[in-house]
Chain A
Amino acid sequence: TQLLEQSPQFLSIQEGENLTVYCNSSSVFSSLQWYRQEPGEGPVLLVTVVTGGEVKKLKRLTFQFGDARKDSSLHITAAQPGDTGLYLCADGRFNKFYFGSGTKLNVKP
């Protein structure tokens, strides 16, 4: 059984700070997705990465996929209160998706 661990579990920072959250798998990812979920809503897909070593940028968000495809990081530059939410990584394999434990981010104004 694959385990997807995310760290840290909770993160509370001031507006303008930078942060990095991590996703580690006990086995190789088939493909990795990052989502953000705001209270009362479903998760929203941020990015999909499939190639080891891949780096993708989405405005102030930078996603890195480890060379061995067993880990990933999400770096946010100059965090804003609108970045507040639950960040989830997920592995898509055999047409199913299994989610990590999540990182709850709170950005204070």
Chain B
Amino acid sequence: SAVISQKPSRDICQRGTSLTIQCQVDSQVTMMFWYRQQPGQSLTLIATANQGSEATYESGFVIDKFPISRPNLTFSTLTVSNMSPEDSSIYLCSVVTGQGSNYEQYFGPGTRLTVT
């Protein structure tokens, strides 16, 4: 299993500013992901955070808007840059442990972002 913490748990930010969200895992993991979830809706994968190399972004998400760092196997950050009200969402990080068909995905508690 894996225990994940995120900071901050919530924030209210002004448009045009940037916020960096931290994700800390209690063990070393290879696969780490960042998701966005609008209130009451499903999760959308933003990117895979790769340790030692650039993150891999999903269609519709770009590095300039959502820069990601992954300095080691237990930590990652996601920055939401030049925010607008449309960026108001819950941002979640997750990790995957195991291999083959015996893998499990664990999520952090999320960061609730409101942009005014």
Q: Which of A33, A42, A45, A101 contacts B92 (CB 8 A)?
A: A42
Instruction: Please state if A95 and B109 are interface contacts (CB–CB under 8 Å).
Output: no
Please indicate the chain A residues that have their CB under 8 angstroms from the CB of B109 in the complex.
Answer: 40-42
Interface 1/0 per residue, B30-41 and A, CB below 8 Å: 010100000011
Please indicate the chain A residues that have their CB under 8 angstroms from the CB of B107 in the complex.
Answer: 42-44
What total of chain B residues lie within 8 Å of the partner, measured CB to CB? 22
| A40-B109, A97-B33 known; A48+B43 contact, CB < 8 A | no
Interface residues of B in 71-116 (CB under 8 A from A): 92, 94, 96, 101, 103-110
What total of chain A residues lie within 8 Å of the partner, measured CB to CB? 23
Cα–Cα distance between A53 and B87 once the two chains are bound (Å) = 40
Q: Is B48 an interface position by the 8 A CB rule?
A: yes
Cα–Cα distance between A104 and B94 once the two chains are bound (Å) = 21
Interface residues of B, dominant DSSP: strand
Instruction: Please state if B40 and A92 are interface contacts (CB–CB under 8 Å).
Output: no
Instruction: Please state if B104 and A48 are interface contacts (CB–CB under 8 Å).
Output: yes
Output the least CB separation between A51 and chain B (Å): 9
Output the least CB separation between A95 and chain B (Å): 6
Please indicate the chain B residues that have their CB under 8 angstroms from the CB of A99 in the complex.
Answer: 42-45
Instruction: Please state if A45 and B42 are interface contacts (CB–CB under 8 Å).
Output: no
Q: Is A59 an interface position by the 8 A CB rule?
A: no
Please indicate the chain B residues that have their CB under 8 angstroms from the CB of A7 in the complex.
Answer: none
Instruction: Please state if B101 and A97 are interface contacts (CB–CB under 8 Å).
Output: no
Cα–Cα distance between A45 and B2 once the two chains are bound (Å) = 12
By beta carbon, the residue of chain B nearest A97 is B105
Can you name 11 extra interface pairs (CB under 8 A) apart from A45-B104, A95-B48? A33-B105, A40-B109, A45-B105, A48-B103, A88-B43, A90-B43, A95-B31, A97-B45, A97-B94, A98-B45, A99-B42
Chain B residues near A (Cβ < 8 Å) = 4, 31, 33, 40-45, 48, 92, 94, 96, 101, 103-110
